[in-house]
Structure 1
Amino acid sequence: MKLDGIQAITFDAAGTLIVPHPSVGEVYAEVLGGLGYPLDPDLLEQNFRASFKALKQNKPDAVLDRESWCTIVAGTLNGLTPSDQFDTHFEALWNAFAMPDRWRVLPGVSETLQDLKQRGFRMFVLSNNDSRLRGILNGLGLAQYFEAIFVSAELGVEKPSPEIFRRIEAEVGVSSAHLLHVGDSLKEDAQGAIGAGWQAALVGPKAAASDLAGAANIAELFNVSLP
């Protein structure tokens, strides 16, 4: 894609740079199985997606902090594990997803970030996430590419709110016209950035159906040749 006039690029994290490994449902099943509750990974994945969606619908202004994740996990495990053991199970799952080995870097990400850094672009992470993300990105070798990692749980506001994009503009000292945000969500990433006057690009499954610059992965988006 054309980067004329772009001085800084922000990247979403989950779904854009990294994904749970091997999946949310499988990690839940492994952790809970180790605690004596063998459960079907597909059912856990289904419940997690439904619980996550319910939180977003019922509390659209909620940020993904520990309290929100507690609500999501409670919905996921409802009827599957004893309620009096919830605190133990939640803590185990919270800690599991803080570990870098529970995540994998998506194809082309490392090569693309290295290429963009060599070309002189300032790069940041802008994620609807919590402070665990820093340790994850550091453990996966990605934190080195970014000047800063901004997470919604610390900022108190989430994408697609224009406020979070304005906060980042002030933090990095670059005006909206010279900022590009890359993500996998049409609403949170693309529409949020465009609504704030930024440029935007999509990666992932929704990219092909969008009129925005988009690609299956970041390397394709930025025309980076892979080894």
Structure 2
Amino acid sequence: MIKGVMFDFSGTLLRVESTQEWLAAALAETGIPSGEEEFGETARRLTEYGALPGGPSPQHMPAHLETPWDQRDISAERHRAAYCGLIHAAGVTDPELVRALYDRHMTPAAWRPYPDTEPTLRALRRRGLPVAVVSNIGWDLRPVFRAHGLDALVDAYVLSFELGVQKPDPVIFKAACDRLGLAPADVLMVGDSREADGGARALGCPVHFVDHLPVDRRPGALAPLLDLLGLA
């Protein structure tokens, strides 16, 4: 019987803005001018190199960034180094713009909850099922949840950069189950990555996957959880 739920963050509960919105916000902050053609080419390169955390995966990985990329969520320093390296590899070399781009993705304005995120979390809260957010991440996402009115619906945050361990290592899922005070077999893991979030299976957790899609293309992937859990 499911007694609690663990959720991934990016692509599961919330989605980061588009690369174009991300770039436009950073340019506006820095006051750096960019023509339409230059803007489009820069956005294309940033997408190609997967430079937006939470955005599309890199299509190209420079050899010197392979190790930082693999370990990016273990610490805040490694996360910043990996993504600033990808921004630079994409051709953005102005230090002020590199900083603005990296910092922008950590702001609440860069994230949007999926339409059914709050209703699903509220339904779980009403029925007494505790919730943990388990994320591979290099920064503190709690302010994002507070800004979007979701923090009161989360009982525990287990973040890779704070633990020094990233999914799919079972250690991170065990930490979440312990904080919820539940046995792994009683905690459902919900995420968008078969590889990372699927690691919960090693502990005996049931797992449910959703698709990592733009917010306007995924209106109701979480709501069926209530049926799955017999809570609808």
On whether the aligned pair clears a TM of 0.5, the verdict is: yes
Mapped contact 1:128–1:152 kept (Cα < 8 A): yes
> What's the CA shift for 1:66?
3.6
5+ long unaligned stretches in structure 2: 51-56, 214-218
Q: Within 5 A, what are the aligned runs for 1:1-227?
A: 5-21=1-17, 23-32=18-27, 34-36=30-32, 38=34, 39-40=39-40, 41-48=43-50, 49-50=57-58, 58-59=67-68, 60-63=70-73, 65-78=76-89, 80-82=91-93, 85-86=94-95, 88-189=96-197, 191-204=198-211, 217-223=221-227
Q: Give SS of 1:186's match.
A: coil
Q: Which residue of 1 aligns with 2:54?
A: none
Mapped contact 1:18–1:105 kept (Cα < 8 A): yes
Q: Give SS of 2:11's match.
A: coil
Q: Give SS of 1:185's match.
A: coil
Q: Which residue of 2 aligns with 1:212?
A: none
The one-letter code matched in structure 2 to 1:12 is D
RMSD: 2.8
Q: Which residue of 2 aligns with 1:209?
A: none
Identity of aligned residues (%): 26
Task: Supply the distance in 1 between the matched residues of 2:85 and 2:4 (Cα, whole angstroms).
Answer: 38
Mapped contact 1:25–1:44 kept (Cα < 8 A): no
> What's the CA shift for 1:93?
2.3
Mapped contact 1:176–1:198 kept (Cα < 8 A): yes
Aligned length: 207
Q: Give SS of 1:132's match.
A: coil
Relative to 1, partners in 2 of residues 1:161 and 1:43: Cα closer, same or farther, differing over 3 Å? same
